[in-house]
């Protein structure tokens, strides 16, 4: 055959097939044959007809000059494939090295699937898929043979905790996203539900009114309450409206996905926030309290809350009474309620006040024991002069409060702490929590008053000090402090004295300073006021005056003798005083 010369049928001498046709007839036959063939393009999907089936292949006629072969394995999803069945195939090659037409049903399905998926996204149509398996964050759904991802958040309008229940089941979905770069498809089932819920939601909101009882499903729990699905509309059931009793978390009485009956308590003007109640479906427990319950009754209950000011005792779910901290102990000193009770304790208490209309009740536990001030032995146990030991509970500017036993307190005035020390504030002598020995000075049971003293445990040393520190006696003193009025002096036996500024001048004209230890002469002594006033200046000025007087000329011999004898007599008196002081000091130290 020549590409430039027309084929000469007449010159082809044979007695085979087609012999005897003229040139015109043969042209006509060729035109008729060519008209029965389709023009095909590789890499496209085309419909074909099954013309034969063998053990390995399915023979398909697509109207091309030759039939194509498709592996039988690609028809596993078709039961009983047979001649005459119409199928879609993908043209891979028009003619391979062996001159065969290569077709693929598998690729045809994939191409057609993607076309259908794109059409579903474009037209927002609903398609049915089969949930094949669970994956991280959602499900894998087979749509048209393509695996699509169904996120967990798009399965339903309510949170789904168990994805496995959907595996193997058919589900209607919508295509919401296609990523051609990765051949990823994302679908949603939630959007189908939301459309149905919008109708239900509109119907519920239009008919919503206070007091209406509805059924819902618990979809979420928090520490402040639960959210309930009322059929497309969510309502909040606050923790305080779940039960008449006190609960710490909704999970104590409710659980997720539980169906519950609730009543509409309130909703806002836009009808977007709905407040629900559950306890309101039952009568208030205060209304069913026993008629025998009254002030003075003893009750049993459980501590459900402890606050700074007291504890709440639950007698029955929804019925609570407050035990104020002041009603927990007869002690006058308030303590932390946690020192007496803790949550969960089951205790007994006494009803102090009761108001059923206001649904309030106050209770006490100290009333279970006798008031210590009303005990019969109170007057004898704490009679005047009796000695006791107590704990310092409080300090004030004027004294301290000492607890002798629970509920029995006494006041120790600051002036009754020490015979010798001038105490301006009790904190100079004791601190809170210290134990202190005292004697009872006064008892007033009717007014619950007890006066105590610490210094009264010893004899009053000022009776002795009156003889030790008479006016005119001289003592070695140490200057403890100074101010613009004078100086505070430390005397023997722990006493304190005072010297005015003018009495602090030394013999050389300088002033006495803090820390100096010098002789001071007593110029004033008051046993009642416990005050000793001294002077250093007097110790040398009076001696100088006496010496000057002794050196003056005497008129007459007798007077001269007398003038000589007087200092000797004064010296004798002074030595006598010193001996008495030493004897008294030894005596007092012996007492100590």
**pLDDT tens digits for 261-289?**
999 998 876 656 889 999 988 888 888 78
The class (CATH top level) of 208-281 is: mainly beta
Q: Residue 547: its pLDDT value, please? A: 62
Per the prediction, the chain carries an average pLDDT of 81
What superfamily would CATH give domain 124-194? Nucleic acid-binding proteins (2.40.50.140)
Cβ pair 133, 147 in contact under 8 A: no
pLDDT value at position 552? 60
Tokens 């693929």 correspond to 104
Q: What pTM, to 2 d.p., does this model score?
A: 0.44
Task: Label residue 352 by pLDDT band (50, 70, 90).
Answer: very high
Q: At 283, phi and psi to the nearest 5?
A: -70, 150
Question: What gap in Å lies between CA 403 and CA 412, rounded to an integer?
Answer: 11
- Asked whether residue 121 carries a pLDDT value surpassing 70, the answer given is yes
Give residue 159's pLDDT: 74
Which CATH architecture best describes the domain 377-453?
Beta Barrel (2.40)
Q: What is the CA radius of gyration of the chain?
A: 57
Over residues 318-333, the mean pLDDT reads 88
* Percent of the chain residues topping a pLDDT of 90: 30
Give the number of other Cβ atoms within 10 Å of residue 160's Cβ.
16
- Res 292: pLDDT: 79
Asked whether 431 and 484 are in contact (CB, 8 A), the reply is no
pLDDT level of residue 560 (50, 70, 90 thresholds):
very low
Q: Which of 56-60, 77-81, 354-358, 585-589 has the lowest mean pLDDT?
A: 585-589
Whether residue 9 is predicted with pLDDT greater than 50 in this model: the reply is no
Enumerate the CATH 2.40.50.140 domain ranges in the chain, comma separated: 40-108, 124-194, 208-281, 285-368, 377-453, 469-546
- Is the predicted pLDDT of residue 587 greater than 80, yes or no? no
Q: What band does 565 get if pLDDT is binned at 50, 70 and 90?
A: very low
How far apart CA 313 and CA 348 sit, in angstroms, is 9
pLDDT tens for 430-487 read 999 999 999 999 999 888 899 999 988 887 778 788 888 998 899 999 999 999 999 9
How far apart, in whole angstroms, are the C-alpha atoms of residue 74 and residue 102?
A: 14
Element (H, E) at 258: none
What is residue 322's predicted lDDT score, i.e. its pLDDT? 94
Segment of 81-90, 131-140, 546-555 carrying the highest mean pLDDT: 131-140
pLDDT for res 498:
93
Specify whether domain 40-108 bears CATH 3.40.50.720: no
For residue 12, name the pLDDT band (cuts at 50, 70, 90): very low
**Distance from C-alpha of 520 to C-alpha of 489, rounded to nearest angstrom:** 9
Cβ atoms of 512 and 518 closer than 8 Å: yes
Residue with tokens 């006493």: 495
pLDDT of 434 reads 93
Does residue 34 or residue 224 have the better pLDDT?
A: 224
Q: Report pLDDT digits (tens) over 93-115.
A: 666 666 677 787 777 778 888 88
Task: State how far the Cα of 334 lies from the Cα of 326, in Å rounded to an integer.
Answer: 6
Q: Which fold has domain 469-546?
A: OB fold (Dihydrolipoamide Acetyltransferase, E2P) (2.40.50)
CATH 2.40.50.140 given to domain 285-368? yes
Residue 591: what pLDDT? 46
d(CA 160, CA 138): 10
């Amino acid at each position: 055959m020549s590409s430039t010369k027309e084929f000469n049928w007449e010159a082809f001498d044979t007695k085979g097939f087609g012999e005897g046709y003229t040139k015109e007839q043969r042209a006509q036959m060729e035109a008729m044959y060519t008209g029965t063939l389709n023009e095909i393009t590789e890499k496209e999907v085309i419909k074909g007809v099954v013309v034969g089936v063998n053990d390995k292949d399915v023979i398909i006629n697509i109207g091309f000059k030759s039939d194509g072969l498709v592996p039988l394995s690609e028809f596993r999803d078709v039961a009983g494939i047979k001649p005459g069945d119409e199928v879609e195939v993908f043209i891979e090659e028009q003619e391979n090295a062996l001159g065969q037409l290569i077709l693929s049903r598998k690729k045809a399905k994939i191409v057609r699937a993607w076309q259908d998926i794109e059409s579903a996204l474009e037209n927002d149509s609903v398609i049915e898929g089969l949930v094949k398996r669970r994956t991280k964050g959602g499900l894998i759904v087979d749509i048209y043979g393509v695996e699509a991802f169904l996120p967990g958040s798009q399965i339903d309008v309510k949170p789904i905790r168990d994805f496995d229940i959907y595996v193997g089941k058919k589900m209607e979905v919508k295509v919401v996203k296609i990523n051609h770069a990765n051949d990823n498809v994302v679908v949603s089932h939630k959007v189908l539900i939301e459309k149905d819920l919008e109708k239900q939601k509109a119907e519920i909101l239009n008919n919503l009114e206070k007091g209406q009882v509805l059924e819902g499903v618990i979809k979420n729990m928090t520490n402040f309450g639960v959210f309930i699905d009322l059929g497309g509309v969510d309502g909040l059931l606050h923790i305080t409206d779940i039960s008449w009793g006190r609960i710490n978390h909704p999970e104590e009485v409710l659980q997720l996905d539980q169906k519950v009956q609730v009543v509409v308590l309130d909703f806002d003007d836009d009808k977007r926030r709905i407040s629900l109640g559950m306890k309101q479906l039952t009568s208030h427990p205060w209304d069913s309290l026993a008629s025998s319950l009254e002030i003075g009754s003893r009750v049993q209950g459980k501590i459900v809350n402890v606050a700074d000011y007291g504890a709440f005792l639950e007698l029955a779910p929804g019925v609570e009474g407050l035990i104020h901290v002041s009603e927990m102990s007869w002690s006058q000193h308030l303590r932390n309620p946690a020192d007496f009770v803790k949550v969960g304790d089951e205790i007994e208490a006494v009803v102090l006040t009761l108001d059923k209309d206001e649904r309030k009740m106050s209770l006490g536990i100290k009333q279970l024991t006798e008031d210590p001030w009303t005990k019969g032995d109170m007057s004898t146990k704490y009679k005047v002069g009796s000695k006791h030991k107590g704990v310092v509970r409080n300090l004030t500017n004027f004294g301290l409060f000492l607890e002798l036993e629970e509920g029995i307190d006494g006041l120790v005035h600051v002036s009754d702490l020490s015979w010798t020390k001038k105490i301006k504030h009790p904190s100079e002598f004791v601190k809170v929590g210290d134990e202190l020995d005292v004697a009872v000075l006064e008892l007033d049971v009717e007014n619950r008053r007890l006066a105590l003293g610490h210094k009264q445990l010893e004899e009053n040393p000022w009776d002795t000090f009156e003889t030790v520190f008479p006016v005119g006696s001289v003592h070695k003193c140490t200057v403890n402090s100074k101010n613009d009025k004078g100086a505070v002096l430390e005397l023997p036996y722990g006493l304190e004295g005072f010297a005015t500024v003018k009495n602090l001048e030394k013999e050389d004209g300088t002033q006495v300073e803090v820390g100096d230890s010098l002789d001071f002469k007593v110029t004033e002594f008051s046993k009642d006021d416990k005050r000793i006033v001294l002077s250093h200046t007097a110790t040398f000025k009076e001696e100088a005056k006496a010496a000057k007087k002794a050196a003056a000329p005497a008129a007459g011999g007798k007077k001269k003798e007398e003038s000589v004898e007087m200092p000797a007599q004064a010296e004798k008196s002074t030595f006598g005083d010193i001996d008495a002081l030493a004897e008294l000091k030894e005596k007092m130290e012996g007492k100590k």
